[in-house]
Homo-oligomer: A and B are copies of this chain.
Amino acid sequence: EEVSKLLALKAQLVTEDAGPQKFTLKTPKGTRDYNPQQMTIRNNVLDKIITVFRRHGAECIDTPVFELKDVLTGKYGEDSKLIYDLKDQGGEILSLRYDLTVPLARYLAMNKITTLKRYHIAKVYRRDNPAMTRGRYREFYQCDFDIAGVYDPMVPDAECLKVVTEILEALDIGQYILKVNHRRLLDGMFEACGVPADKFRTTCSTVDKLDKSPWEEVRTEMINEKGVSPDAADRIGEYVRLNGSTELVEKLLKDEKLSKVKAALEGVEAIKTLLQYCELFGIKDKILFDLSLARGLDYYTGVIYEAVLTQPIKIGNEEQTVGSIAGGGRYDNLVGMFDSKNKQVPCVGVSIGVERIFSVLEAKLAAGDITVRTSDIDVYVASAQKNFLEERMKICAELWDAGIKTEQSYKKNPKMLNQLQHCEENKIPLAVVLGDSELKRGVVKIRNITTREEDEVPRNDLVQEIKKRIDNLNLNQLNGAT
């Protein structure tokens, strides 16, 4: 019988082929866990962003984490090599989503939806070289707001910019500008400078590097790798150093070369309208019309934008340059790629670079610049003496049933010091302290953890007394008294 017991024990400990741990315990390359502090930061940031999205009437959708591989094929140009494929285990050939834009286009085409204002916050996957301290992961959040539908020019486009400003104000992470440009203007500019049409997209990708590389390097790449003539490159160089506002619009409309190219004029006129709408929205002072803005993705067809923090962020005693924090643009031809009749649904949208925001806030947390509370417990039910588990349980249940956020020790006879320490470490504001003598008199003590003041209340009034104190604490907090 002893043998049988030992066998039972062994069966419990070792299931099948799982021996003791032999491999290094880690998360896959370029990924990470979010611990409670990181999750609190993440959820606080996302809550603020969602509030803005919903203020503008956006609805929420979600799509599967993987798509048929065919859905993603041919949408990302050179970057297609970064797509994660699933193993062929019999059945469909699948890939992890690379962004939320292509799944949106697939969703619109598949369901024949022609108008939608939606936000989508979810993880996407890229087999890129991770730079995790800078917030660049292989699994990371995208946070997208898009407006699909046939509407009048620049009306939804301007609202996307308004949404970005409201988000950056709500997050309060420093001064910023919103750079805008237009793909039609870029195309027209390339044409005016003598770039052949079949080289527009690839030249555009090279211009996109201007935010990281000096003009000389970009020029060399254009000439040597993209086959643009030195003359054409120099002419492009003249234009891409231009930025400004309405006065630049007026200048370009009169520009000798550009004014002869239809695409360029269309682009400039569009920016003119956009600036006008931004003025009505009260955000024109944040907008910079910048001819060097190109954006990497192939699928943009109209306005493009990028939000950039203009000052380094202070983290502890150091400063960190963050740069681009949101980007987007108009893509009128993507949905049609999923429709057998090539039926288009024009779209415009913006993506908030939440990973960069998380990474800044996590660095601030590590430097002690900010603190976060990972649980929001208001009351801890404690006891100074032994054998109070049953009474503690009864009180916890009463408080929970009244909707009060309550905790207690899971030990039968916890030490008083440990209980109070738990309250202080977790910034729990109130403790109910049970004791023999008090219970005999029909009272319990309520302790304010910060002030260490204690007072007695009738046991039967406990719930309402606790509620009163929580309301007071919240009121004080609103008034900045804590």
Contact = CB atoms under 8 A, between A and B. Distances in A.
Given A11-B198, A152-B410, A155-B411, 12 more contacts: A5-B197, A15-B74, A15-B299, A16-B77, A20-B337, A26-B110, A42-B62, A55-B405, A58-B375, A166-B401, A281-B396, A282-B397
Interface string A37-78: 001101100000000001111111111111110110111010
Given A18-B75, A26-B68, A8 B375 contact: no
A8 B390 CA distance: 78
Nearest to A339: B21
A204 to B, nearest CB: 10
A281 B151 contact: no
Interface of A: 4-8, 11-13, 15-23, 25-29, 31-36, 39-40, 42-43, 54-68, 70-71, 73-75, 77, 84-89, 91-92, 94, 96, 106-107, 109-111, 118, 123, 125, 127, 139, 147, 149, 151-152, 155-156, 158-159, 162, 166, 187, 191, 196-198, 200-201, 262-263, 277, 280-282, 298-299, 301, 333, 337-340, 342, 374-377, 389-390, 393-394, 396-397, 400-401, 403-407, 410-412
A337 B33 contact: no
Given A11-B197, A86-B86, A280-B397, A36 B61 contact: yes
11 contacts: A11-B200, A15-B75, A21-B338, A21-B340, A33-B111, A34-B61, A35-B61, A55-B403, A84-B86, A155-B389, A155-B412
B60 A16 contact: no
Contact of A281 (B31, B32, B64, B397): B397
Contacts of A39: 59-62
A28 B92 contact: yes
A29 B59 CA distance: 25
Contacts of A389: 152, 155
A139 B34 CA distance: 21
Given A57-B375, A73-B17, A410 B12 contact: no
List the 3 closest pairs (A to B, CB-CB), nearest first. Answer: A18-B74, A151-B410, A36-B59
A405 B282 contact: no
A200 B9 CA distance: 10
Contact of A15 (B77, B377, B401, B411): B77
A11 B28 CA distance: 38
Given A201-B11, A406-B55, A123 B16 contact: no
A155 B27 CA distance: 32
Contact of A85 (B33, B87, B282, B400): B87
Nearest to A138: B64
Contacts of A68: 23, 26-28
A142 to B, nearest CB: 14
Contact of A191 (B8, B60, B375, B411): B8
Contact of A87 (B32, B63, B87, B156): B87
A61 to B, nearest CB: 6
Contact of A94 (B15, B28, B60, B92): B28
A337 B411 contact: no
Contacts of A376: 54
A184 to B, nearest CB: 10
A237 to B, nearest CB: 21
A197 B7 contact: yes
Nearest to A17: B74
Given A88-B87, A147-B410, A197-B11, A28 B62 contact: no
A433 B96 CA distance: 46
A393 B87 contact: no
Contacts of A123: 65
A407 B281 contact: no
B84 A89 contact: yes
Nearest to A84: B86
Contacts of A374: 59-60
Contact of A67 (B28, B74, B404): B28
A118 B36 contact: yes
Contacts of A401: 166, 282
Contacts of A64: 27-28, 31-33, 139
Nearest to A155: B410
